[in-house]
């Protein structure tokens, strides 16, 4: 016998006004959203097939091509977070029975492998220790041994703070075996050098919430003609209807036909974020990230901490800093939130408990934020008994900024 609703469950919830804390976001993402992007999101909503929105779609595609450094016709923002763009790339390009060669040198290589398996692909791995890039010779050997249909790599590994050098060597080796190349550029787009066409990358996906300083919800994706030909020639439909690029082609291609309701406000946001990239200039933006992250690096090293990645593989947009002996990384992150409203993050996977992950991305990559995070981190570490010199760290940061 059904019970009558109780008074408690029948009463409307008494939920107050939304008042999230005002944090300074210096973790692995999201980064602080630029005020102009927030203003763009507050503008009036239009329909996803409105002629004015079609013009906005054109603007976003043109700006994405500039930011990716590509002429690819197939360049769109996927409706969803960076992982949706990742799944759109892998789930469409990898067909059942395909072999995909993936890296094992970080957390997001593992996610790439998982998505390839779900797409019906056979996954083989190319090994490298966490905290090191892939060796081109090892990649070439793995390509020769397995002759894969697809090769994937992480350009900027958010879990280790390592930037993959030698990208043209990797792509050339893959193309020698007629493999398409998928690149994870989530933490590199708009922050560190990325040249999709010049480096012969077939597919690149990214997220807007890191170096683009845009809320998650519309995520960059670009495919070469060769990659899109493979997608459109599939014998079996993609396992995801929502992320099926052969269907999205009707909406983002010339026809502009209905597929799903786009996240209109998020498209507004990424348009404005990409306008900021174009106004600053992409190469100038890369240089700003390197300069400011260099000051952050000088500060943490100046106070006595160690970086996880060697200088030649250092990733300016995500600085992985070794946790000093005798300190609990989770306690440090919690104290920074409590005392300073400042977010950094702990490690993932194999580096859980071993590193702090400190972002220097987009609108968060400003001199005042760099000084703030070095000052706050030094104070918290010293108060928790770590052997650090906070004053020396701040001095090193200021000196680097002045230079």
Per-residue pLDDT of the chain (403 residues; tens, 9 = 90+): 566 656 567 889 999 999 999 999 999 999 999 999 999 999 999 999 999 999 999 999 999 999 999 999 999 999 999 999 999 999 999 999 999 999 999 999 999 999 999 999 999 999 899 999 999 999 999 999 999 999 999 999 999 999 999 999 999 999 999 999 999 999 999 999 999 999 999 999 999 999 999 999 999 999 999 999 999 999 999 999 999 999 999 999 989 999 999 999 999 999 999 999 999 999 999 999 999 999 999 999 999 999 999 999 999 999 999 999 999 999 999 999 999 999 999 999 999 999 999 999 999 999 999 999 999 999 999 999 999 999 999 999 999 999 8
CB 318 within 8 A of CB 355: no
Structural domains for the chain: 35-280 (3.40.640.10), 282-401 (3.90.1150.10)
For residues 170 and 177, give the distance between their C-alpha atoms in angstroms, rounded to a whole number: 11
CB count in 10 Å sphere of residue 71? 12
**Long-range residue pairs from 234-238, CB within 8 A, at least 24 positions apart, any chain:** 234/92, 234/95, 235/95, 236/95, 236/96, 238/91, 238/92, 238/119
User: What pLDDT was estimated at residue 10?
Assistant: 81
User: What pLDDT was estimated at residue 5?
Assistant: 59
**Long-range residue pairs from 166-173, CB within 8 A, at least 24 positions apart, any chain:** 166/133, 166/136, 167/199, 167/201, 168/198, 168/199, 168/200, 169/136, 170/134, 170/136, 170/139, 171/199, 171/200, 171/201, 172/200, 173/136, 173/139, 173/140, 173/143
């Amino acid at each position: 016998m059904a019970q009558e609703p109780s008074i408690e469950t029948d009463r409307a919830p008494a939920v107050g006004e939304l008042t999230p804390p005002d944090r300074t976001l210096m973790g692995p993402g999201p980064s602080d959203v630029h005020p102009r992007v927030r203003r763009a999101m507050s503008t009036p909503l239009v329909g996803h097939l409105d002629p004015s929105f079609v013009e906005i779609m054109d603007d976003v595609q043109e700006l994405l091509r500039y930011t990716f450094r590509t002429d690819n016709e197939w360049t769109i923002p996927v409706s969803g977070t960076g992982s949706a763009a990742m799944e759109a790339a892998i789930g469409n390009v990898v067909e059942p029975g395909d072999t995909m060669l993936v890296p094992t040198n970080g957390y997001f290589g593992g996610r790439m492998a998982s998505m390839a398996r779900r797409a019906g692909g056979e996954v083989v791995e190319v090994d490298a220790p966490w905290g090191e890039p892939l060796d081109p010779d090892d990649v070439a050997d793995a390509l020769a041994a397995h002759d894969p249909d697809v090769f994937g790599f992480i350009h900027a590994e958010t879990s280790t703070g390592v930037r993959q050098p030698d990208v043209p060597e990797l792509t050339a080796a893959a193309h020698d075996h007629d493999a398409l190349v998928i690149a994870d550029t989530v933490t590199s787009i708009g922050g560190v050098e990325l040249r999709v066409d010049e480096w012969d990358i077939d597919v690149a996906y990214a997220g807007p919430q890191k170096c683009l300083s845009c809320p998650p919800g519309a995520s960059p994706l670009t495919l070469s003609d060769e990659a899109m030909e493979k997608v459109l020639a599939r014998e079996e439909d993609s396992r995801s209807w929502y992320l099926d690029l052969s269907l999205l082609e009707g909406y983002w291609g010339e026809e502009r036909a209905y597929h799903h309701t786009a996240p209109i406000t998020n498209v507004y946001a990424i348009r404005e974020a990409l306008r900021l990239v174009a106004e600053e200039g992409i190469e100038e933006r890369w240089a700003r990230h390197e300069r400011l992250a260099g000051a952050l690096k000088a500060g943490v090293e100046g106070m006595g901490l160690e970086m996880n990645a060697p200088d030649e593989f250092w990733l300016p947009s995500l600085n992985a800093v070794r946790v000093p002996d005798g300190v609990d990384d989770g306690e440090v992150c919690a104290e920074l939130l409590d005392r300073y409203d400042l977010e950094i993050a702990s490690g993932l996977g194999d580096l859980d408990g071993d590193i702090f992950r400190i972002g220097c991305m987009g609108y968060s990559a400003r001199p005042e934020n760099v000084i703030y995070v070095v000052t706050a981190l030094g104070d918290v570490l010293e108060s928790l008994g770590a052997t650090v010199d906070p004053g020396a760290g701040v001095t090193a940061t200021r000196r680097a900024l002045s230079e």
